[in-house]
Structure 1
Amino acid sequence: MTQVPSHARVVIIGGGVIGCSVAYHLTKLGWKDVVLLERKQLTSGTTWHAAGLIAQLRASANMTRLAKYSQELYGSLQEETGVATGFKRCGSITAALTGERLEEIRRQAAMARAFGVDVEEISPAEVKDRYPHLNVGDVTGAVYLDKDGQGDPANIALAMAKGARQRGGQILEGIRATGVTREGRRITGVTWEQGGESGHIACEAVVNCGGMWGREVGRMLGVNVPLQACEHFYVVTEPIPGLTRLPVLRVPDECAYYKEDAGKILLGAFEPVAKPWSLNGIPANFEFDQLPEDFDHFEPILDAAVNRMPVLAQTGIHTFFNGPESFTPDDAYHLGLAPEMDNVWVAAGFNSIGIQSAGGAGMALAQWMDTGEKPFDLGDVDISRMQPFQGNRRYLAERSTETLGLLYADHYPYRQKATARGVRRTPFHAHLLERGAVMGELAGWERANWFAEPGQDPVYRYGWKRQNFFANVAAEHMAVRENVGMYDMSSFGKIRVEGRDATAFLNHIGGGQYDVPVGRIVYTQFLNRNAGIEADVTVTRLSELAYLVVTPAATRLADETWMRRNVGDFDVVITDVTAGEGVLAVMGPRSRELLQRVSPNDFSNDTNPFGTAQPIEIGMGLARAHRVTYVGELGWELYVGTDMAAHVFEVLTEAGQEMGLRLCGMHMMDTCRIEKGFRHFGHDITSEDHVLEAGLGFAVKTDKPDFIGRDAVLRKRDAGLERRMMQFRLTDPEPLLYHNEPVLRDGRIVGFLSSGAYGHALGGAIGLGYVPCRGETAADLLASTYEIDVAGTRVRAEASLKPMYDPAGARAKM
């Protein structure tokens, strides 16, 4: 029997490639008493049957950074450990079969250039040169990344396990974690079983690397880890005479990927409608197991592949493989400190990209655990983005039928998930649908994104150019700019902070000054020790002892968790009250006129100036009117109890009819906010973006003592900025911007757009992005010539450090 220690600094549960990577990187940082428990044998869950594709380019700069790190690590592991990883840089090709897909991969190529990834756009003939067996008659174009590669998944994991052992880590096989002991929000130990023996390991932290068992392991640890196993298919051919080393090939329009290995072809698929597996939990005895073949399900992929690579028609199938992989609700893996506990970490749910992600994910998590702070922004994968309801089995089963296929679907801007919808609805949901709302979904919330005109199909028609709602959003945008519009903001998070130390607590956690009169609204950021932005919120003082913190819908849980983890000895109560109030934003030059028609209260600047809130009567009900704006116009956010929300909506829409009140959606809010240069959390501002470089220094009050990040703010003020957030407007009104497009300064790439949208009042696409500026003045920055790379075409752009729309901010204070 294996000797199991009685104490460990950390217990890692799960011995796949992710668990081995976490153990490897923790020991590399000098951690002692690292123990990994694997219930069966290392790699016996999903790692052993992974395809082993290793790509560099991901959807964001930091995810690309992690993937590049994985490649570099796998290239050196064999020399370090003596275990052959099979890693080779054979390159990769992604081929497009349609004009839409060609636009996508050209945008991906531009993004690669911005991220420092070598990429080459190649013609169909050049695809044929690199892949002689391929039928390229309908290929519209392709991109080639020469440093992409492939490896042996099991040996990569075993090499990292050996590296961990060499530095004193204990990798224990055949030992199943069966339970935990806990005190409050901390795990104090893990119980285990091996054969008929059992025991307990006291520990300071636990990492859930349970792979497709991650949800169940999470339940055992008291945390929510939403993921679902799905069947994943591939075939391996018999040897093909004359087949030589080939790049990895992806043909996403046919849901297929190809890998040459030892003279054979592995053909895999991410089919549009996936098959969730084992909805009631993974069998306890699962080890190196395969699932039953389903040729009928795979046949359409194989038929297309035979046309794409005709040699397959004369080649036998050596292996038809079906094995499970775990998928998350949004196709991003789970990483980080779980919101529900203070010492439970998660690295699971890798959506069939576990091999290329494992090295970087293990490195990032280990650094986070070692310092207590994220090494850089990990918002794309932070486990705190997951909402509690997303662990629901029925939800996961339904959503997972779609998410596997989305890996190779067209990644259109604004694309909405089609499955597992309607879970969270605002009090205005039915009213909005009756009036033509086209819903999108965020964090489970159904939100009106735009409104269809009478006779227009209220559905999305996706594309890379102007989509079918472009004119609708333009009309909503201009209604807010020139008249009055109303939209539903109920999904935004609402967190009540109250108690005798509420003011002191907020002054500790936030950069603003919260010792303000009752009714005052403070726009503010919660900073980390490096003055990076952990949350971008408004804080309203409701009474002497109570405040309301309003957060983006997607980060409500993360923001609440950040507050709870920094409570310390402050005497406060923190409560999520999001569902308790509906919120209607009434915005535009005539918004005051509309409110005066339905309420006896005074909305003048004398009584209700910008940045203040007041209780009001409205119709026959009551509400609280917050005079703030995220669209840059005169306006109010009306907070109404859910019991009166429908009444208030009806009163406003009836009164607004003769004024031309227009119902608006979230797309309008985004196009208006970007014209005004307002930052979007998660895109423009993240935990690694310094608040001063983001242009938000006005919201930080350093004359108050000892708030989180204060020292880093002062240091940056003394040292000077390394980069600055700038706003760009394309001078050609036709191209569209989304995000990640390269920014060129005087002909050289210097960064990329953090966000983009169309500015309907400014007459062109608008982007925000950081530009290096060390030792430069504002005049120096503005003296340069700027271009934006849009799918390979450089487009001239005007640049500004101030908002291009209403730079003085006068319109909101009319």
Structure 2
Amino acid sequence: MATIPASARVVIIGGGVIGCSVAYHLAKLGWKDVVLLERKQLTSGTTWHAAGLIAQLRATANMTKLAKYSQELYGNLETETGVATGFKRCGSITVALTEERREEIYRQAGMARAFGVEVEEISPTEVKNRYEHLNIDGVTAGVYLPRDGQGDPANIALALAKGARQNGAVVAERTKVTGINRDGRRVTSVDWAAGNETGTIACDMIVNCAGMWGHEVGRMAGVNVPLHACEHFYIVTEAIKGLTQMPVLRVPDECAYYKEDAGKMLLGAFEPTAKPWAMNGIPEDFEFDQLPEDFDHFEPILEAAVERLPMLADAGIHTFFNGPESFTPDDAYHLGLAPEMDNVWVAAGFNSIGIQSAGGAGMALSQWMDAGEKPFDLGDVDISRMQPFQGNKTYLFERSKETLGLLYADHFPFRQKATARGIRRTPFHQHLLDNGAVMGELAGWERANWFANDGQTPAYEYSWKRQNFFGNVAAEVNAIRTNVGMYDMSSFGKIRVEGRDAMAFMNYVGGGEYDVPVGKIVYTQFLNAKAGIEADVTVTRLSETCYLVVTPAATRLADQVWMQRHIGNFNVVITDVTAGEGVLAVMGPNARALLQKVSPADFSNDHNPFGTAQEIEIGMGMARVHRVTYVGELGWEVYVATDMAAHVFETLHAAGQDMDLKLCGMHMMDAARMEKGFRHFGHDITAEDHVLEAGLGFAVKRDKPDFIGRDAVLRKRDAGLDRRLVQFKLTDPEPLLYHNEPILRDGMVVGYLTSGGFGHHLGAAVGMGYVPCTAPGEPVTDMLASTYEIDVMGTKVRAEAQLKPFYDPTGTRAKD
């Protein structure tokens, strides 16, 4: 056993491929006193039985960057450490068996090109040429990625562990963490036991890389790590005569993947309804263990596979394997600094893509730990996206039944999770359902996404084409553009910042100016040191010593934690009050007329101009109205205490009947905001998007003496922009945009759409994305003089490009 020191800079808990990667990368960065503790043997949890598929393409540019880095790392690791990783670039083929799946994989191919991944769309005949054993009956198309590969999972982990040791890290096996000691928001030490020996390591920080045990270890450290183990099945055949190296094959419509390995064939499955495992905890002696076989569960996959690969019919089964893997509520892994603690990091919950993700995840996390800030946007996997309730074990059990299968399900636009629903409901939930609302879910909140017409089934019918709610959303957009609409915004985060230093604190943490009159609303960003955007919020001054920060629903926790971590010596208290108020947005040219019917308050420009709030009577209750808009129209957000929320809804809804008031959903809001060029945090603006290049310089008060990101704002202003966020509208009204479609400038791919949707009022698909300048500070006229096209499934569609919104470019409609 390795000698375990009494103190360490960092203790890494878990010796799977993720923990080994974190140790390796920290040690390569020159960190000393790195200690990794593994309860049994390295790789003995999930890593040892992973299939070892190593793909480059992921759902976003940065996740793809991390996957590509993993490939490059594994290719060089054998030379560095002498441990054979089994890594080889054999390529991969994904085949579609339906027209809908064909569109999906062809759109993924376009995304791959935008992300710099080598890709080729191939016909069924070309699929057969590259994979001779495949029965191509029913195959509609394929996509080939020549640089995808496979590797030996256990040896990759062992090579990373050896590389960590070579650079001074301590890797201790059969050493279980028995306790984590805390002082306030910091871990101070870790207790361990190895056989009859016990001890304590004082440490500056820990990293939870405990895989399936990550939830349990998180609880020990006082942090929420939502994940659950599921059974994962595959078979390995006997040796098949004449079988040579083949590309990895995925047939997602049959829930199957295939990998040739040493003359045998491995068939694995991501079945639609998974089997969660270990609801009552993982057995203490679990080590390189298999779970009981369940041939009945796997049989439908095998039957389809024998038809798809006829050679399997004559191949004996050498191994029927069932092993556990951990899955998260949204199928994205957990990475980063835990919200509840200031020195607890997490890298866990890798949803069956741990091998291909481990290299990049270890690199990104180690750089984050070393520099104290994210190396690039990691919002997709940042653990602060998880809501506290998502650590609930019953919730995780129910959701994990679905998330495993979603890996190979059709990834339709707007697809909603079906399991573990109905947990967080706004005060208007039943009222909305009674009026035909079709609910979606975000951060656990049930939100009305669209409203069904009388006689229409209130449910999604998914497609890559115009979906069944397309006309409904068009009608909702029309209502807020020409009359009046109302929608529920209660799920948006509401955070109170109060105390004698509230104004000074807000001026430090935010880019806007908060020394404003009571009732003034400030649209603003929280910036990091590089002037990247950490949050996109509105801030309302409620009193001399109190501000209300309104955030997107999904980032409430992350935005609150960002503020808390920058309190320093400011005398402020930060409190989440999201559930305390319901919010109804009343928007459209006739919004003022509707409010005047139910309230004696003055809604005129003189008394309640754009960007101000006021307390009002409404019906027989009280509310506070904020005159702001995310859809570009005259309108108010009505904040009302939850006890009076139902009354206010009923009052407004009844008063609107003779005005043709239309209830609207989140899809309408998203379509309308894109027509207005309003940015969406997490898509159009992220932690690595400079606030000036995002076109949000107007929201930054550069003459303030001290705020986070100020120096980077001034440097960029002086040096000139390297890229700009441009808005696009297709000249052909038929194609649909979703996001990640490649942008071509004068025939060359220069970027991809960060947002895409249909502009129902404009009559064509719209989107936005960053276009690099030909030189720093390139004139706007030169940039817009180019010819632009958007690649939609391999077809280049001409697009108009503007920096100003396509709808109401002067912004007068909201201010009339």
- The verdict on a shared fold, with TM-score over 0.5 as the criterion, is yes
TM-score (norm 2): 1.00
SS at match of 2:652: helix
TM-score (norm 1): 1.00
Shift in Å at residue 2 of structure 1? Answer: 4.1
Shift in Å at residue 427 of structure 1? Answer: 0.1
* Within-5 A mapping of 1:601-612: 601-612=601-612
Which amino acid in structure 2 is aligned with residue 326 of structure 1? S
Match of 2:420 in 1: 420
Match of 2:391 in 1: 391
Match of 2:327 in 1: 327
The answer (yes or no) to whether the contact 2:181–2:221 under 8 Å persists in 1 is no
Match of 1:40 in 2: 40
The answer (yes or no) to whether the contact 2:2–2:170 under 8 Å persists in 1 is no
Residue 51 (str. 1) matches residue 35 (str. 2): no
SS at match of 1:425: coil
Match of 1:369 in 2: 369
Which amino acid in structure 2 is aligned with residue 6 of structure 1? A
Shift in Å at residue 246 of structure 1? Answer: 0.2
Shift in Å at residue 15 of structure 1? Answer: 0.1
State the Cα deviation string for residues 454-510 of structure 1 (Å, max 9, x = none). 000000000001000000000000100000000000000000000000000000000
Match of 1:685 in 2: 685
Residue 482 (str. 1) matches residue 485 (str. 2): no
Percent identity between matched residues is 80
Match of 2:535 in 1: 535
The answer (yes or no) to whether the contact 2:616–2:625 under 8 Å persists in 1 is yes
Shift in Å at residue 126 of structure 1? Answer: 1.1
Q: Which segments of structure 1 move beyond 3 Å, counting only runs of 4 or more?
A: none
Residue 779 (str. 1) matches residue 781 (str. 2): yes
Match of 1:743 in 2: 743
State the Cα deviation string for residues 540-559 of structure 1 (Å, max 9, x = none). 00000000000000000000
SS at match of 2:126: helix
Mapped partners of 2:173, 2:608: distance in 1: 66
Mapped partners of 1:192, 1:548: distance in 2: 45
Match of 1:174 in 2: 174
Match of 1:195 in 2: 195
Mapped partners of 2:463, 2:429: distance in 1: 27
Which amino acid in structure 1 is aligned with residue 546 of structure 2? A
Cα RMSD for the two superposed structures:
0.5
State the Cα deviation string for residues 357-414 of structure 1 (Å, max 9, x = none). 0000000000000000000000000000000000000000000000000000000000
Mapped partners of 2:518, 2:566: distance in 1: 24
Shift in Å at residue 129 of structure 1? Answer: 1.1
Which amino acid in structure 2 is aligned with residue 806 of structure 1? D
Mapped partners of 2:557, 2:110: distance in 1: 34
State the Cα deviation string for residues 274-297 of structure 1 (Å, max 9, x = none). 000010111111000000000000
State the Cα deviation string for residues 297-346 of structure 1 (Å, max 9, x = none). 00000000000001111110000000000000000000000000000000
Mapped partners of 2:377, 2:407: distance in 1: 23
Match of 1:583 in 2: 583
Mapped partners of 2:718, 2:278: distance in 1: 58
SS at match of 2:218: helix
Match of 2:341 in 1: 341
Match of 1:793 in 2: 795
State the Cα deviation string for residues 744-776 of structure 1 (Å, max 9, x = none). 011110000000111011110000100001341
Which amino acid in structure 2 is aligned with residue 810 of structure 1? T
Residue 184 (str. 1) matches residue 184 (str. 2): yes
The answer (yes or no) to whether the contact 2:13–2:209 under 8 Å persists in 1 is yes
State the Cα deviation string for residues 167-212 of structure 1 (Å, max 9, x = none). 1000000100011121110001100011122110000000000000
The answer (yes or no) to whether the contact 2:525–2:534 under 8 Å persists in 1 is yes
The answer (yes or no) to whether the contact 2:524–2:538 under 8 Å persists in 1 is yes
* Within-5 A mapping of 1:203-602: 203-602=203-602
SS at match of 1:10: strand
The answer (yes or no) to whether the contact 2:633–2:814 under 8 Å persists in 1 is yes
State the Cα deviation string for residues 59-97 of structure 1 (Å, max 9, x = none). 000000000000000000000000000000000000000
State the Cα deviation string for residues 662-707 of structure 1 (Å, max 9, x = none). 0000000000000000000000000000000000000000111110
SS at match of 1:320: strand
SS at match of 1:235: strand
SS at match of 1:129: helix
SS at match of 1:753: strand
Which amino acid in structure 2 is aligned with residue 755 of structure 1? S
Mapped partners of 2:712, 2:176: distance in 1: 45
SS at match of 2:543: coil
Which amino acid in structure 2 is aligned with residue 464 of structure 1? W
Which amino acid in structure 2 is aligned with residue 234 of structure 1? Y
Mapped partners of 2:392, 2:283: distance in 1: 19
SS at match of 1:562: helix
Which amino acid in structure 2 is aligned with residue 67 of structure 1? A
Match of 1:159 in 2: 159
Mapped partners of 2:620, 2:201: distance in 1: 62
Among 805, 808, 811, the residue aligned to 2:810: 808
Mapped partners of 1:670, 1:377: distance in 2: 22
Mapped partners of 1:263, 1:191: distance in 2: 46
Mapped partners of 2:635, 2:117: distance in 1: 44
Mapped partners of 2:284, 2:359: distance in 1: 28
The answer (yes or no) to whether the contact 2:2–2:171 under 8 Å persists in 1 is no
Mapped partners of 2:94, 2:459: distance in 1: 30
SS at match of 1:397: helix
Mapped partners of 1:686, 1:798: distance in 2: 25
Match of 1:702 in 2: 702
Mapped partners of 1:601, 1:129: distance in 2: 73
Mapped partners of 1:4, 1:12: distance in 2: 13
SS at match of 2:750: strand
Unpaired segments ≥5 residues, structure 2: none
Residue 80 (str. 1) matches residue 80 (str. 2): yes
Mapped partners of 1:323, 1:562: distance in 2: 38
SS at match of 1:529: coil
Unpaired segments ≥5 residues, structure 1: none
The answer (yes or no) to whether the contact 2:86–2:150 under 8 Å persists in 1 is yes
Which amino acid in structure 1 is aligned with residue 484 of structure 2? V
Count, aligned residues: 814
Residue 96 (str. 1) matches residue 120 (str. 2): no
Shift in Å at residue 3 of structure 1? Answer: 2.1
Which amino acid in structure 2 is aligned with residue 424 of structure 1? R
Moved more, 144-153 or 775-784: 775-784
State the Cα deviation string for residues 584-607 of structure 1 (Å, max 9, x = none). 000000000000000000000000
Which amino acid in structure 2 is aligned with residue 59 of structure 1? A
Which amino acid in structure 2 is aligned with residue 363 of structure 1? M
Mapped partners of 2:283, 2:574: distance in 1: 40
Moved more, 626-635 or 189-198: 189-198
Which amino acid in structure 2 is aligned with residue 562 of structure 1? W
* Within-5 A mapping of 1:19-34: 19-34=19-34
Mapped partners of 2:315, 2:196: distance in 1: 49
Shift in Å at residue 263 of structure 1? Answer: 0.6
Mapped partners of 2:131, 2:146: distance in 1: 14
SS at match of 1:542: strand
Which amino acid in structure 2 is aligned with residue 14 of structure 1? G
